[in-house]
Amino acid sequence: MGLVQTSQAGLGWGAPQQLWSKATKRQQKTMVVDEITRLEQEYFHVKAISQGSQGAWTQWDVTVNRRITWEEIWRMLQSRLTFLLRATYDTIPCPQNLTQWFGDVLGCPLCGNIKASIQHILSRCKVALTQGSFRWRHDQVLAKLAEVLESCRVAANCIPAAAKHFPAGFVKSGSTLQPPAQKRNIMLAPGKEWQMLADVRKQLVFPRETVITTLWPDIIMWSTAEKRILLIELTIPWEEGMTAAHERKHLKYSVLAAECQEASWRTRVYPVEVGCWGFVGRSTVQLLHDARVAGSNLRKPIKELGEKPEKSSYWLWLQRKHNGWGLKPL
């Protein structure tokens, strides 16, 4: 009927909508297709919400959408693709689903927990946690995250530090001075000799020039010249528990951050999450956005970070009945 406004934006904000009366035949065809697509997506979304376990993915508000191209589908193993789809929609033959489908009372192959769900097998089993399988999956993702941040650190150190200057602002007669545009948060200041330590294949030792503590985050980045330190903690939770994991990790390192600030170090804690099924949390995207160098693309590292836990969870599912995890190479 006319121009309307959606969401909480004020009137007049956003891109103007195309009017049907002023659109060409090609534009009208596009408008019809877009409207039908929107209605179909809304219908399937409402149907997914009404399904209890199969629609649990609708509650993953802190994750970004994972896009799989047709080329990736053709190259992906059929068993792995089936595992990803059935696990996301909770139709995988885990003991809990088998009990519900056929009435047989089954338990976890490792700990014997009755009616064990896929969430129990891949993130809650105490026997698997003791054997180190969850830690192995965590290290796979941590190694990739450390690789991405290391490239950002090297690129930041190669850029010369910009000299501080205060340009004169000229204002036309009768006009007022406009506030400067908000700049992007630069996590790694260029040319400040940033250093990095990661808890990959060896226990991390906290830098002695900062503070003495028994805690060690997964990744530490610091600059003596900038007098700044970044604490990065990675978690591989169930997609529904990302918010709780984020708050738990942030609270865990809040005391360490306060100690670093008392020692005159500007400190920031980055709790980041990547789900078991490869859905990257928004906190991880924010970290990569703050650490990236101008002009770098984030699609490739986000995609690679999502594939690591999904492949690892698939391998853990295949080895769910193996009691000798960690005793010999698989």
Asked whether residue 59 is assigned to any structural domain, the reply reads no
Asked whether residue 47 is assigned to any structural domain, the reply reads no
Residue 95 lies in domain = 70-131
Model pLDDT for residues 240-253, shown as the tens digit of each residue:
888 889 999 999 99
Tell me: do 127 and 137 sit in the same domain: no
For residue 288, the Cα-to-chain-centroid distance in whole angstroms is 9
Phi, psi for residue 234 in degrees, rounded to 5: -100, 140
Neighbouring C-beta atoms of residue 284, cutoff 10 Å: 27
Model pLDDT for residues 13-25, shown as the tens digit of each residue:
666 677 888 889 9
Q: Kindly give, in sequence order, each residue whose CB lies less than 8 Å from that of residue 213, ignoring residues fewer than 6 positions away.
A: 206, 256, 259
Model pLDDT for residues 194-203, shown as the tens digit of each residue:
889 888 877 7
Asked whether residue 202 is assigned to any structural domain, the reply reads yes
Beta bridge partners of 195: 222
Task: Give me the CATH number covering residue 238.
Answer: 3.40.91
Tell me: do 249 and 302 sit in the same domain: yes
Residue 235 near residue 142 (C-beta atoms within 8 A): no
Give the closest residue to 221 by CA, choosing from 242, 206, 202, 238. 206
Flag whether the pTM goes above 0.85: no
Give the closest residue to 199 by CA, choosing from 225, 221, 168, 229. 221
Tell me: do 118 and 224 sit in the same domain: no
Tell me: do 194 and 92 sit in the same domain: no
Tell me: do 198 and 307 sit in the same domain: yes
Tell me: do 216 and 251 sit in the same domain: yes
Tell me: do 110 and 208 sit in the same domain: no
Average pLDDT over residues 3-31: 77
Tell me: do 208 and 308 sit in the same domain: yes
Tell me: do 232 and 282 sit in the same domain: yes
Tell me: do 104 and 207 sit in the same domain: no
Indicate the number of domains in the chain. Answer: 2
Q: Rounded to 5, what percent of the chain is helix, strand, coil?
A: 45, 10, 45
